[in-house]
Amino acid sequence: MKNIVLFGNCQAGQLGYILSMLLPASEFNVSVLSNNPRTGGMKSEEVILSEIGNCDILIYQPLTTSHGKLSEYHINNVTKSSCHSISFPYIFNDGVYSLCHAPMSPAHSYGKIYGEEAILLQLKSGRTKREIIRDWSKGYIDFKLLDRFNKCLNIMAEQESSTDIKLSTFIKNNYREQKLFSTQRRSPEIVPMFKL
């Protein structure tokens, strides 16, 4: 039996779920290890390194040396010589939706709402909540989606220059034809901000 370990954020979790549905359980054992506490269920460094050190296939999102023993450099030193390692980039683009909520972001007590700057500018200019919601529903508010989309895509292209899997060009060439991103479900914490 081949032991596949995925090490990364929530994207690794989704990829692990897909692989476990596609690959025969009699031939592959798929496990997912979180690389950050915000993703949830993070194990100790020793457990993570032990599981990575015993896997046959490692699919991971690289961490810098600032992450110590969990950095890409250290992880590559603990894998066995027969292990096949595949690195993939962090896939994030806040220019896909006008507003999207990252509840576990350390930016604010409520997390981070990408695109909130456009709403905050409207409030500062004296617009009422009712006017803002009306304009939002009619698509009148400029959330700078194209600028945000391209900025995130450029960051991704730079980050994936050192990964095995490259996705930025695929995204650039296909985002108009296919839905390539999903976001978190609507969070109840942000609803009170928009009540009239």
pLDDT at 183: 57
Q: CB of 86 within 8 A of CB of 56?
A: no
Q: Domains of the chain, with CATH numbers?
A: 2-87 (3.40.50.12080), 100-194 (no CATH)
| pLDDT average, residue stretch 80-90 | 96
Q: Answer yes or no: is pLDDT of 188 > 50.
A: no
Which residues share a beta bridge with 85? Answer: 58
| Average pLDDT of every residue of the chain | 88
pLDDT in tens, 21-41: 999 999 999 999 999 887 778
Bigger pLDDT: 187 or 122? 122
d(CA 143, CA 78): 45
Its pTM stands at 0.80
pLDDT greater than 70 at residue 168: yes
